[in-house]
Structure 1
């Protein structure tokens, strides 16, 4: 077994899309926990103020254990989805032509495990192990946070991860992959993290979740634009295949603009007015992303899309702290 090949199967450029929404949710949670302790200084201290400060102390004490567990859940869930995708596409023949370094370099696409001759059952086992780690960390986080409805979110995430390319009727083959990514690596990840850390969600969290969802969807759109010819040949009707390359690129640009505007709003709201400067620190990455798409340099575009996702999370974190 080639260790380098297994590391390639992790699809490292997609991993920021799993970590970033947890960082955003945690950053927004920090802001809300700090605000709980804000009370008018009068004597005697009002009972409502004492309750809020007691809640603040409780949330602060469990913040780091829950936050770390949320990162583990998101990271290993992404790894599980990546291996499951490799398994499902491999047995369907969708990854044909990605069996060697030379073939992958010619096709300008990464090598895949099953297509390279790794037994499919081993790739499936790797996906199951990663999913089990995500489940264990998720259960621990829920028990600490006592957010029982998060069990349903976790179960839905696992089911969505498998049926993206697995099963008889995978939704990734019907053009709904971007929708699934938006929901689970955007809304569910950010709002689930915020809820686990604070016990509730707010409107700013929704804005951050939508922004993360758009960034994650764009990462998948780059991947699908790269594979548009092969996907169509193998009956994989992704959104890019259904729209055609030109309209898919137009949709990509619309998502990029929307994500930028939302990111700007979140950062300015967190740190008025200086937070508006933070998103512009990553404008070079966005320009590089667009240029790479137009030049069909999809490996560079994937790296830029992953970097942009992480930069947004860092910008939100800095704005929340400052």
Structure 2
């Protein structure tokens, strides 16, 4: 029987800061527009955490089926691959966490939409189901889109655009086009984490038939692709701030820029793909720090 330590490992705690960044950004923007709801925001954070854990379970399960998790993989050993958690146990784990995510999602959407728009309620339920389906089919199933180079697009949508704009709407009951600028920021930073993961495993993915963007582009061009995403992410945040400038505190997020620059330089200098692994965690934590400082700046400016 799988141990609690194995389940925690399968949940991949280091991915959770990234999953929470989009939610927190949506909450911070809602606060800035004086439209935040505490119950909606807290429930959104809990729901997003459950969905991310479900996604990690499904990824562990799917890659073991495909044979991508093997002795040649450069990242951490996965639990199904190593036998720490059996496939049957992981299927049960996915069912439990996925079901909990769905129930929490219904509660969240009910609080955020039912009294104002039944159409919005059912639309968000549909998006919630789509997010769970997308989380499963990233690597699991016969039609897994992560194996044909579509992972970047789905991460951009489900870690950036949808959580930021969706949580803002659930809090505020309305949406502004400008909200999508910080959503683009979180989307590109999140996709950057996936890109680093795929750059690290480029050789093994190619040999396993997993055709990621780095496999298609090659190691060097993937680094420039990474640079492009980080640059556009920062540019989008700056444009939003300049267009909604109330206080110098709104540029508090610039404090983390040196960490992004340092890691970009390091990524271009690295020759051994295995050495890219620490940059995944650092970008995820830098994204969370960026988000927190961005939101703190918004909150101070709104006083």
TM over 0.5: yes
2:89 alignment partner in structure 1: 122
CA distance in 1, matches of 2:230, 2:124: 30
Q: Which residue of 2 aligns with 1:27?
A: 28
The CA RMSD over aligned residues, in Å, is: 1.8
Q: Note the alpha carbon deviations across 1:290-314, whole angstroms, 9 max, x for none.
A: 2442324222201111012102211
2:103 matched residue in structure 1: 136
Matched, 1:71 2:45: yes
Query: Which 5+ residue runs of structure 1 have no aligned equivalent?
Result: 35-58, 99-106
Give yes or no for the alignment of 1:111 onto 2:74: no
- For residue 281 of structure 1, report the CA deviation from its aligned partner: 0.6
Larger Rg: 1
CA contact (8 A) 1:270 1:319 kept: no
* CA apart distance, 1:72: 1.3
Unaligned residue ranges in structure 2 (runs of 5+): 115-119
CA shift, 1:252, in A, is 0.4
For residues 87 and 195 of structure 1, do their structure 2 counterparts lie closer, same or farther at Cα, with a shift above 3 Å needed?
same
Deviation per residue, 1:221-253 (Å, 9 max, x gap)? 111011111100100001111111111111000
* Number of aligned residues: 287
CA contact (8 A) 1:226 1:298 kept: yes
Cα shift readout 1:15-69 (whole Å, capped 9, x = no counterpart): 112101111101111122x2xxxxxxxxxxxxxxxxxxxxxxxx66xx1111111
- 1:205-284 matches, within 5 Å, as 205-275=179-249, 277-284=251-258
Structure 2 Cα separation of the partners of residues 122 and 289 of structure 1: 38
| Secondary structure at 1:15 match in 2 | helix
What are the Cα deviations for residues 242-300 of structure 1, in whole angstroms up to 9, with x where unaligned?
11111111100000111111122334445445146423210232123224423242222
Which residue is equivalent to 2:117? none
Give the aligned partner of residue 87 of structure 1.
Answer: 61
Alignment-derived partner of residue 19 in structure 2: 18
Tell me how far apart the structure 2 counterparts of residues 205 and 13 of structure 1 sit (CA, whole Å). Answer: 27
Question: Do the aligned partners of residues 205 and 20 (structure 1) sit closer, same or farther apart at CA in structure 2, a change above 3 Å counting?
Answer: same
Deviation at 1:134, TM superposition (A): 1.4
TM-score, reference length from structure 2 = 0.89
Whether 2:278 is the aligned partner of 1:304: answer: no
SS at match of 2:61: helix
After superposition, the C-alpha distances for 1:132-181 in whole angstroms (9 at most, x for unaligned) are 22111111111112241211111111111111112212110000101000
CA contact (8 A) 2:59 2:140 kept: yes
Q: Measure how far apart 1:183 and its partner are.
A: 0.8
The separation in 2 between residues aligned to 1:275 and 1:218, in whole angstroms, is 27
1:142 aligned counterpart, secondary structure: helix
Superposition pairs of residues 168-207 of structure 1, within 5 angstroms: 168-207=142-181
1:5 Cα deviation from its structure 2 partner:
3.1
**In the superposition, relative to structure 1, how do residues 94 and 232 fare at CA in structure 2: closer, same or farther (>3 Å)?**
same
What secondary structure sits across from 1:165 in the alignment?
coil
Moved more, 68-77 or 174-183: 68-77
The 8 Å contact of residues 191 and 209 in structure 1, kept in 2 or not, is answered as yes
Q: Give the distance between the partners of 2:90 and 2:266, measured in 1 at CA.
A: 31
Match of 1:46 in 2: none
Partner of 1:150: 124
Counterpart-to-counterpart distance in 2, 1:2 and 1:225: 31
For the residues of structure 2 that align with 1:126 and 1:292, how far apart are their CA atoms? 37
Q: Using a 3 Å threshold, how does the CA distance of structure 1 residues 269 and 238 change in structure 2: closer, same or farther?
A: same
State the shift of 1:84 in Å: 0.2
Whether contact under 8 Å (1:86, 1:113) holds in the other structure is: yes
